[in-house]
């Protein structure tokens, strides 16, 4: 099939076409020609969209669906459709399913269900059996099956020796270990950020100390063992400082931040709306400012939607009993565009692959097409009609956003209503 993208402005600082408006011919999933006002015969589909911009395909390092076990929240098939319509060509799936993705067979099964899709699914294997935090899972076997990293989703590694062993063992195959940044003993029965708002609302708080103590411990262990450590979804000012210092000391550590922690503060909790119940919790304006700075100066390696579908039965309940999580794929681009400029936003959405050994595909003739397509200027209010997920637990509802996603092209496949 021949596809011709008309008058597409390329956003890719590493490309000679950066900020240039060009036509792009794609044939059999390969970029055949890039140039101004191409005249091509026998084109199967011509894509000419308002203010069309194109970048390298976006990547999200922390996405949850439901299948297997929680299909009422999201299936793999629909979840990947959501990712594509949201502009993502590749996502990393968290292991928090039922059963947990903690062995070769479960990794292989999930990957097989994602085959022949425009969005490529990569798997994160659980670090411990059943994510119970007791015994290491079959890390090497999962690595052989294609797992790109290992971590227990939203569960802290309570036993320091377990982290030590995992970092040592994973070095045998250059594996990447993830450690969720929370000391559960300090967090206790906390539900939200421990601060003025938690006190005034009468909600148990999770102090910033719970995150920072865990990060300090993990960094000391990493310094002792060597290896590669990824700390997902940090949320405090001091966490940024700790990781920045660790990188200066030469430690092989990376981290991410959830987009909602860059947008919202715990001021949103005033009406006890469970859409704002996330882990780590929404913090303060000081933390948000530090996180944004950390993103821009490179201390924070990547952003993530931390997309977590939760069914109505477990979200529309009393705040104490509601499960943690918000969906975020659909709102990722529009939300980021409200706080960062276009080049910064696209850069953040395309970062992170190298950490997980996922090759990047440059926009140049002869390469496979791996594109996100969007209009960066259109302004709107995010509402329920913008949600493609089966679950609707989005804290971004009613947020004024900037930008519209058209979809993706990835090789011979696409996820975009305009081109089928």
CATH for 56-356 is 3.20.20.140
Question: What value does the mean pLDDT take over residues 19-46?
Answer: 94
Confidence of residue 31 (pLDDT cuts 50, 70, 90): very high
Check pLDDT > 50 for residue 207. Answer: yes
Check pLDDT > 60 for residue 419. Answer: no
Question: What value does the mean pLDDT take over residues 69-86?
Answer: 97
Question: What value does the mean pLDDT take over residues 73-98?
Answer: 98
Q: What is the pLDDT of residues 355-377, one digit of tens each?
A: 999 998 899 999 999 999 999 99
pLDDT value, residue 1: 87
Separation CA 167–CA 160 (nearest Å): 11
Task: For residue 365, count other CB atoms closer than 10 A to its CB.
Answer: 12
SS3 347: helix
pLDDT value, residue 416: 77
Question: What value does the mean pLDDT take over residues 177-183?
Answer: 98
Q: Which helix (H) or strand (E) holds 30?
A: strand 30-35
Separation CA 147–CA 172 (nearest Å): 15
pLDDT value, residue 27: 96
Cis-peptide, bond into residue 99, ω within 30° of zero: yes
Question: What value does the mean pLDDT take over residues 320-338?
Answer: 98
- Sheet containing 58-63, strands listed edge to edge, beginning at the edge strand earlier in sequence: 58-63, 88-93, 120-125, 149-150, 176-178, 228-231, 253-258, 302-304
pLDDT value, residue 14: 86
Separation CA 255–CA 232 (nearest Å): 5
pLDDT value, residue 420: 47
CA-angle at 94, arms to 282 and 89, nearest 5°: 95
Active site residues: 306
pLDDT value, residue 143: 98
Phi/psi-derived region of residue 10, left when phi > 0, alpha when psi is between -120 and 50, beta in every other case: beta
Query: Scanning the structure block, which residue is given the tokens 């109505």?
Result: 312
pTM of the entire predicted model = 0.96
State what percent of residues in the chain have pLDDT above 90: 96
Cis-peptide, bond into residue 280, ω within 30° of zero: yes
Q: What is the pLDDT of residues 266-299, one digit of tens each?
A: 999 999 999 999 999 999 999 999 999 999 999 9
Check pLDDT > 80 for residue 238. Answer: yes
Question: What value does the mean pLDDT take over residues 10-27?
Answer: 95
Separation CA 97–CA 64 (nearest Å): 8
Burial of 37 by CB count in 10 Å (0-12 exposed, 13-18 middle, 19+ buried)?
exposed
**Domain ranges within the chain, ordered by starting residue:** 56-356
Question: What value does the mean pLDDT take over residues 239-246?
Answer: 98
For the chain, the average pLDDT equals 96
| DSSP string covering 208-253 | HHHHHHHHHHHHHHHHHH-SEEEE----SHHHHHHHHHHHHTT--E
């Amino acid at each position: 099939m021949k596809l011709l993208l008309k008058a597409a402005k390329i956003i890719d600082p590493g490309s000679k076409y950066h900020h240039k408006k060009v036509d792009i011919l794609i044939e059999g999933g390969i970029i055949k020609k890039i140039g101004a006002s191409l005249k091509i015969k026998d084109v199967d589909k011509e894509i000419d969209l308002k203010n069309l911009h194109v970048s390298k395909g976006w990547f999200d390092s922390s996405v949850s669906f439901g299948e297997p076990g929680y299909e009422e929240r999201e299936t793999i098939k629909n979840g990947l459709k959501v990712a594509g319509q949201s502009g993502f060509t590749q996502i990393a799936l968290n292991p928090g399913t039922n059963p947990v993705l903690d062995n070769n067979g479960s990794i292989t099964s999930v990957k097989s269900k994602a085959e022949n899709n425009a969005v490529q699914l990569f798997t994160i294997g659980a670090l411990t059996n059943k994510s119970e935090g007791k015994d290491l899972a079959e890390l090497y076997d999962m690595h052989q099956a294609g797992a790109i990293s290992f971590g227990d989703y939203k569960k802290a590694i309570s036993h320091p020796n377990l982290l030590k062993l995992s970092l040592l063992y994973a070095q045998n195959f250059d594996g990447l270990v993830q450690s969720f940044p929370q000391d559960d003993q300090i967090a206790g029965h906390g539900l939200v950020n421990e601060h003025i708002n938690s006190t005034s609302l009468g909600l148990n708080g999770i102090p910033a100390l719970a995150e920072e103590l865990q990060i300090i411990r993990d960094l000391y262990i990493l310094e002792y063992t060597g290896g590669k450590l990824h700390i997902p979804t940090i949320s405090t000012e001091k966490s940024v400082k700790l990781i920045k210092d660790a990188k200066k000391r030469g430690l092989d550590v990376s981290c991410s931040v959830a987009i909602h922690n860059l947008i919202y503060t715990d001021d949103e909790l005033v009406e006890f709306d469970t859409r704002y119940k996330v882990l780590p919790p929404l913090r303060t304006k000081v933390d948000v400012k530090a996180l944004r700075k950390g993103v821009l100066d490179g201390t924070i390696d990547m952003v993530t939607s931390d997309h977590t579908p939760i069914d109505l039965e477990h979200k529309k309940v009393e705040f104490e009993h509601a499960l943690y999580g918000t969906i975020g794929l659909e709102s990722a681009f529009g939300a980021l565009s409200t706080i960062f400029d276009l080049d910064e936003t696209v850069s953040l959405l395309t970062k992170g692959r190298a950490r997980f050994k996922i090759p990047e595909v440059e926009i140049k003739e002869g390469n496979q097409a791996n594109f996100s397509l969007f209009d960066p200027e259109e302004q709107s209010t995010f509402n329920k009609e913008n949600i493609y997920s089966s679950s609707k637990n989005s804290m971004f509802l009613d947020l004024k956003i900037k930008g519209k996603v058209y979809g993706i092209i990835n090789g011979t496949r696409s996820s975009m209503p305009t081109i089928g």
